[in-house]
Amino acid sequence: MTKPLSVLFVSSEVYPFAKTGGVADVSYSLPLALRDLGHDIRVMLPKYGSISERKNKIHEINRLKDIPIPVGDTVSLATVKSSSMSNPRTKVQAYVTTNTNYLDAYKGFYADPVTGIDYENNDERFIFFNKTVLQTCLLLGWFPDIIHCNDWQTGLIPALAREMYPEEFKNTKIIYTIHNFGNQGSFPAESIAKVGLPESALESITHNGRLNFMKAGIVHANRISTVSPTYCGEVLAGSELSDGLDDLLKKTPEKMMGILHGVDMMTWNPAIDSLIAKKYTAETLTNKIPNKEALLKRSGLPVHLDVPLIGMIGRLNEQKGVHLILEAAERLFAEDIHFVLLGDGEQEMKQKFAELAERYPHKVSVTLGFDDDLAHLIEAGADMYLMPSLFEPCGLNQQYSLVYGTVPIVRSTGGLKDTVFEYNEETSEGNGFVFNEFSADAMLDAIHRALRLYKQRDTWLQMVKQGMKEDHSWGNAARQYSEMYRSIMKDLE
């Protein structure tokens, strides 16, 4: 048998401790799946003020108390604690960075929960967290084979490891996974000095005159991955979304690969989901109906089970294409449909959706904030799921929808393009509805195609079952990551 590898997986959000989006789901499912493949994997995350130590069984570790961490001209103390995350089969250890001034003092992870505006000292907060990761390894005397970093919030780890502790981490390979190029951790020039790297390394963390966490990750990691093959191609083709960092990636395309993420079938699975009104499978599809009923009731909408119900969950921002819904509202809600939306985001967008719900009280229900239970019920109770994203690196909700028999209507971009295929009535192939142009008209066209087919009950149900029977589970992605780990370890030999 091949030797298991030791892996430290670092993320700024990990379900069930902390979650705002898909990265948290991935940071839970992937380490557990890699543990199943035999690797000695541990995760590390920050403990924000809203995370309860008691509820998450977070305990102190003797060796990791009051660690001094310099950020700019000040030194703050980190105490790294221990916890674990598990599923019915497996358990993974978690290191949790705790601290008063940068972490406990803030209830939001990156932004104020009320205004949705980013915290001004996010540069310092995440420089601090990144440094605690390496200090933990040093104090434990544990130098894993792989450090796997995720998104901008961990981008300085590769730079700090290579520039400050080259000897200690000489046998450690670093992987940097980019979940979203739209968010690079870019901060004013004054932030560069706060990292504390030598002059010779500053160019590698600077982009367009600003501190750029993501650039630091790209330059210093041994391999870079992104979260779907199509998104990987889009970024390398030079999309404006990467804000010039694509030029850097193009220089070493062999360092880069796209791995499509999947569904954690122990968390998102209608056959065993205890957060929904009634469990069901493709064989017991009539049991999906009580979920629709429960969702309509909970949303305060009339319980008309024959009216198609469109669901949507996510961050209310430009990336998710939510303004197309506002633009199309008059034409969309002229149809006999119900629409249930759960989302969070900046105040202005939340206000617009609250107004939409007021304008169409019998058709539209909007819940603002974060609500995991409702997210599960939407996946189970809706007939269709809308994702009109401008760009979508991977997208998990369209895959959850397929598993829950909730037909996705998506724009053809990134991971959506890799997972949703237009239904073809002649060949009976396909699992959803897809539009190309980023416009309200194209989105409405796709919704109309879905509404038309919804009336042909037998064909609709055949398509639903087809989607439910596809394999979207994590296994394949975990194997690809494992192979990537092994292939870079070979570079050492």
Binding site for ligand ADP (CB under 6 A): 21-23, 25, 313-315, 342-344, 370-372, 375, 394-397
Q: Least distance (Å) from ligand ADP to the CB of residue 385?
A: 10
Q: Least distance (Å) from ligand ADP to the CB of residue 276?
A: 13
DSSP letter for each residue of 203-231: GGGEETTEEEHHHHHHHH-SEEEES-HHH
Residue closer to ligand ADP (CB basis): 95 or 268: 268
Residue closer to ligand ADP (CB basis): 159 or 341: 341
Radius of gyration of the chain (CA): 23
Tokens linked to 113: 């929960």
Q: Least distance (Å) from ligand ADP to the CB of residue 168?
A: 33
Q: Least distance (Å) from ligand ADP to the CB of residue 261?
A: 8
Answer yes or no: are the C-beta atoms of 47 and 96 closer than 8 Å: yes
Q: Parallel, antiparallel, or unpaired: how do β-strands 223-226 and 173-178 relate?
A: parallel
- In three-state secondary structure terms, 41 is strand
Residue closer to ligand ADP (CB basis): 21 or 430: 21
Residue closer to ligand ADP (CB basis): 226 or 397: 397
Q: Least distance (Å) from ligand ADP to the CB of residue 46?
A: 18
Residue closer to ligand ADP (CB basis): 192 or 322: 322
- In three-state secondary structure terms, 458 is helix
Q: Least distance (Å) from ligand ADP to the CB of residue 266?
A: 14
Q: Least distance (Å) from ligand ADP to the CB of residue 380?
A: 12
Residue closer to ligand ADP (CB basis): 47 or 179: 179
Q: Least distance (Å) from ligand ADP to the CB of residue 361?
A: 21
Q: Parallel, antiparallel, or unpaired: how do β-strands 74-86 and 59-60 relate?
A: antiparallel
Q: Least distance (Å) from ligand ADP to the CB of residue 43?
A: 17
Can you tell me the distance from the alpha carbon of 178 to that of 217, in angstroms, rounded to the nearest whole number? 9
Can you tell me the distance from the alpha carbon of 342 to that of 68, in angstroms, rounded to the nearest whole number? 41
Answer yes or no: are the C-beta atoms of 71 and 97 closer than 8 Å: no
Name every residue whose Cβ is closer than 8 Å to that of residue 241 and which is 6 or more positions away in sequence. Answer: 181, 182, 234, 235, 391
Residue closer to ligand ADP (CB basis): 400 or 460: 400
Can you tell me the distance from the alpha carbon of 299 to that of 207, in angstroms, rounded to the nearest whole number? 46
Span between the terminal Cα atoms of the chain, in Å = 18
Residue closer to ligand ADP (CB basis): 4 or 16: 16
Q: Least distance (Å) from ligand ADP to the CB of residue 265?
A: 14
Residue closer to ligand ADP (CB basis): 158 or 314: 314
Tokens linked to 149: 């970093």
Residue closer to ligand ADP (CB basis): 103 or 380: 380
DSSP letter for each residue of 391-443: --SS-SHHHHHHHTT-EEEEES-HHHHHH--B-BTTTTB-SBEEE-S-SHHHH
Q: Least distance (Å) from ligand ADP to the CB of residue 379?
A: 7
Q: Least distance (Å) from ligand ADP to the CB of residue 374?
A: 7
Ramachandran region, residue 369 (left: φ > 0; alpha: ψ -120 to 50; beta: rest): left
Phi, psi of 246 (to 5 degrees): -60, -30
Residue closer to ligand ADP (CB basis): 113 or 302: 113
Whether residue 16 has a cis bond before it, omega within 30° of 0: yes
Residue closer to ligand ADP (CB basis): 404 or 454: 404
Phi, psi of 368 (to 5 degrees): -100, 135
* Residue for token pair 């030079």: 238
Answer yes or no: are the C-beta atoms of 382 and 310 closer than 8 Å: yes
Answer yes or no: are the C-beta atoms of 434 and 420 closer than 8 Å: yes
